[in-house]
Each structure stands twice: as C-alpha cells, then as structure tokens.
A and B are shown apart, each in its own frame.
Chain A
C-alpha cells in the first residue's frame, strides 16, 4: 500500500509544527523519520495515520483520501504504535492483543475464527505465543513493545506507523524490534532517534527540520557529515559500508 502526503500543514495556535510536507512512500517500503527534538516527527506521523487533522493538505492511502474514510475502516488498513504506551489495568498479553481486533468487530459480534487466527499469528510473529497468559504489569519494556506491535499486527493492517518504538530499550532489544518490523510484509514508517539504527533498518530516510523535509533518500544519500552538522549540530565521520551494508556514523566528542 502506498502512502502519499501532499502539502501537509499543521500547527498549534499560531505556531506551525508541520510546514508544507509532501511525501510518497511505496508499497512495502520501510521509511525512517529522523530529526532533532521538536522537528515535528511525531506530529507528522500522527497526520499520516489520520490521528490529527491537517490544517491543509491531504494524505492518501492507496490513492484514497483518508479524511473521507471512516475511522473504523481506516483502522483496518493502518495501525499506529505509540511510544511506550502504559496502563494501570490488570490485563494479560492476550487481552492486549485481542484489542487489535476492535476495528474488525461490531458492538456485539462474537469472537470468530478469523479473529483467533489473527491473534495467534500476531503472537507467533513477536514470539510471545507461550506468554499469552502473562499479566501486562510483569512484562519488561522490550516485551511490552513487542506486545504493542503484535496488537498492531492483529489489526491486519497494510501500513504500520511506529513512534520511536525503541525508546527506553537496551541495544539488543532495539535491534530485535527493528529487525522484526523490517521483516514484516508491510509498508512501515518509523520515527527514530538513533541515526545508525535508522541507517541499518530503513530503505529510505526522511530528515525533518523545523517541520520541513530537509532531505529524503537512501541512508547513504542522506546521511552526510554536512547534513548532520547542519540539522543535528554534531560533527561526525561516516564510513560507507561495502555493497549493501549501511553507512556507519561515528560521532566526534567535540
């Protein structure tokens, strides 16, 4: 499924947050959204997912304007994973993943085989099948994030949006989560802070600065010392990987 944004503008009161962003994401692509704090990554992600309404501009999913698709139908096409969403409710892994079926179920419909299959596949996909009875409160940060992704998968979406899914995770789990997302047969758009991880796991990288797209292209095209100095205000050396390998960034202390 393709995602196409045209001239998106959005702001709070008189302060513009997203200024005139246009973006085209092809089917099956994994796109990384990077940029300094406050550059509008999260806001852009929410505009693309239809969780915020743009002041002007449109988002199209497979050529259809999402403003004209009812919210419930939209949630069968695209899923959104918040950064470390929490709850005090005493739910199990199974309960949480079943929530992903919400857009597929009517108010009183029973639990169907299709629902069951979607949940089981999602559980297998994130390797939590043996943990389905476990209470949410006893999961580690990495496990919680995996369950959130499984819940998004249970929606059976074509497009997945992830807002800093690796926040607060150790490096092993960061790589595990991103490898998992990349292996999914989905179009995914991920807001990320870690530039090396973005380079390793994304087909394309979009660099945001003050709500505008500063650069867009493959990691090797986009991640240059000049851009990192301008946008992130750091000096860095970049080693190009051989063949398919991702470029590697080494930041200088000064």
Chain B
C-alpha cells in the first residue's frame, strides 16, 4: 500500500515537473515575444535556433538581437532568480520551523542594500559590476553578523530569527543614514528603484553565473532533502533520527545566503516569491522536501517569468518594479490557496 503511495507520489512529481517545464518554456517564449515592440513567436523561435547554429533563417537582425541579447537572457535570469528565491524560502521555512520565513529573514537583503547604497551614493567604485559586488559584499556581511550572533546558527530557530531581525534593522538603518546624509533626491530614487528589484540590464554573463550558483545550490539542497524532513518535529528529534543537525544547519544557511546574495546583487531584493511559492508548492506536492524543493524551484521560475512579463505590460512606456508585480500578481493567487487550504473546523 505504501509502496504504491510512494510510486504515486513519485509519478505525480514527475508529471508535475514535466508540465511545469513545458509551462516554463511557453512563458519564456512569451517573455521573448512580448514587449514595447512585439515579435512573432515564429521569429523568436528562429532567432534562438539561428543563435544556436541550428538554422540560418532570414530574419531582421534587430529582431534577432532583441530576442537573444535582451529578452531571452532576461527571461532566463528571471526564471533562475524565481527558482532560487523559492528554494531558499522552502529551506528556511523548514530549518527555522516558521511558516513566515523567507530568503531575506537572515538580513541578506538589508545587507545587500547597504552595500549597493555605498556604491550608488558614496561612489565607491563605479559601474554596474561594482554595484553587484557591493551588494554581494553587504549581503555576506549581514549573514556573517547573523551567524556570529546565533553561534553559527546553532542556537535554535527563534534565536536565529531574532539575530536576523537585528541585522536587518542595523543595515536598514545604515542604508537610511547614508541616503539621508549624503544623497540627493535622484540618488534616493535610484536606491529605492534598485531595492524593489529590476531585470533591466541583465545579460548573458549574469545568466551563466547565476545558473551555476542555482544548480550547485539546488544539488546540495536535494542531497540534504531527507535530513530537512527530519526537522519536522524540531532539532532534537532530527538528531535522534541520526541527522548531524549543526552541520546541516550551517551548510544550508550558507547555501541560502550565497544564493540570495547572488540574486539580490544582480536583480535587487524581489519580495514575496520566496515566502509564498513554497506554500503553493506544498499545496501541490505535499510537505516532504524531496518533492517540495524541485517543485518550489519550478513554480518560482514560472511565476517570476510571468511577473516579469506583467511588469512590462501593466503600464505603457515604463516598467513597474518587479517586486511590486510579484505582490500584485501573487497575492490574489495566494489568497485562493489560503482560502481552499483553511482548516475545516
């Protein structure tokens, strides 16, 4: 009976992943076709096959360039960022045993914004590369502070969350201090826009870097998925089931920090995805992490690509910050799940 249940679960996951890969491909194709200047899907397809050297179709060079150099890289980075944030959220919700945990709970986004502000306002370095580096350094500084305050994240979930809150407050205060004392109105606006997240300006090199980070982190997380399940009844219970609790915690906190810092440094602090997508995934494939982690990553990827399309379509002639769209698109969707999953009492 239970082996059937297991096979049922595995085939259900396989079906789910198959469907979500197809949906993701359609979403990415749509993202490459839709824009201020719409391009037919056929041209999109031929642009890609041309670039890959599979075809030599005659299409306008400008359209091929827009598809390949601007929209496709942007859509794929959106997919990776969505997958990464959702994965981090699922892991932190399990490790911290808190349904409200999300990728930024350990102060990573606050640290990243301080780093970014140092670059934008104080002008340490110049150009977009140093903005990313500044954000990355800030994110890791915040994570190091949290790790220090929580004894390498071994002090229990609430202690770790409090350490994260303290680090977030500190770095947010630093950001505000720097902006108010030395920034002008335009700089403040730049910072604000950057914080809400944007996929504008991302290119292929960003995709390769983020792709490697996401794949490595996802692999590590899948290898530790069984151990994450053992945290269902708390740390001590996990230890009694033979899980090296301190090591798993430290490795997974490190992985989420690396992944979140990389994403934030490229596209800003995009909220909501990391909090909500794991809950949606749990609703579809259940709470066990061998299924939950890949499902969260896929849903996060699809969701982010669609949110990015929406961000370019909602207002004509301008792009709404992606963080605004993830909340606008996501909340109604999440409300349905919350309503349908409410306790039947």
Determine chain B's interface SS by DSSP, over half rule: helix
* In the complex with contacts A80-B240, A91-B232, A102-B282 CB distance below 8 A: no
Give complex CA distance A94, B9 in Å: 13
A75 at the interface (CB under 8 A from B): yes
Measured between beta carbons, the chain B residues less than 8 angstroms from A74 are: 242
Give complex CA distance A100, B227 in Å: 12
Measured between beta carbons, the chain A residues less than 8 angstroms from B99 are: 88
Give complex CA distance A98, B1 in Å: 13
Name the one of B5, B222, B224, B240 contacting A79, with C-beta atoms under 8 angstroms.
Answer: B240
In this complex, how many residues of chain A approach chain B with their Cβ under 8 Å: the count is 38
Q: Which residue of B lies closest to A80 (CB)?
A: B240
The tally of CB-CB contacts under 8 A between chains A and B is: 84
Interface size class of B (residues with CB under 8 A): 20 to 34
A87 with B243: CB separation less than 8 A: no
A75 with B3: CB separation less than 8 A: no
* In the complex with contacts A75-B240, A107-B224, A155-B241, A116-B3 CB distance below 8 A: yes
Give complex CA distance A244, B328 in Å: 72
Measured between beta carbons, the chain A residues less than 8 angstroms from B243 are: 71-72, 102
The contact string, 1 if C-beta is below 8 Å from chain A, for chain B 223-241, is 1111101101110110111
The contact string, 1 if C-beta is below 8 Å from chain A, for chain B 204-237, is 0000000000000000001111110110111011
A89 with B224: CB separation less than 8 A: no
Give complex CA distance A37, B255 in Å: 42
Measured between beta carbons, the chain B residues less than 8 angstroms from A76 are: 242
Measured between beta carbons, the chain B residues less than 8 angstroms from A210 are: none
B244 at the interface (CB under 8 A from A): yes
Q: Which of B292-309 contact A (CB under 8 A)?
A: none
Name the one of B234, B241, B343 contacting A100, with C-beta atoms under 8 angstroms.
Answer: B241
B236 with A82: CB separation less than 8 A: yes
Q: Which residue of A lies closest to B290 (CB)?
A: A108
A102 with B226: CB separation less than 8 A: yes
Name the one of B2, B233, B234, B244 contacting A116, with C-beta atoms under 8 angstroms.
Answer: B2
B6 with A51: CB separation less than 8 A: no
**Nearest CB of A to B283, in Å:** 9
Q: Which residue of B lies closest to A161 (CB)?
A: B240
Q: Which of B1-38 contact A (CB under 8 A)?
A: 1-3, 5-6
Closest 6 CB pairs of A and B: A75-B242, A103-B242, A72-B242, A80-B240, A85-B233, A102-B241
Interface residues of B (CB under 8 A from A): 1-3, 5-6, 97, 99, 222-227, 229-230, 232-234, 236-237, 239-244, 282, 286-288, 343
9 A-B pairs whose Cβ atoms sit less than 8 Å apart in the complex: A51-B239, A51-B240, A71-B242, A75-B240, A85-B234, A88-B99, A95-B287, A102-B226, A155-B241
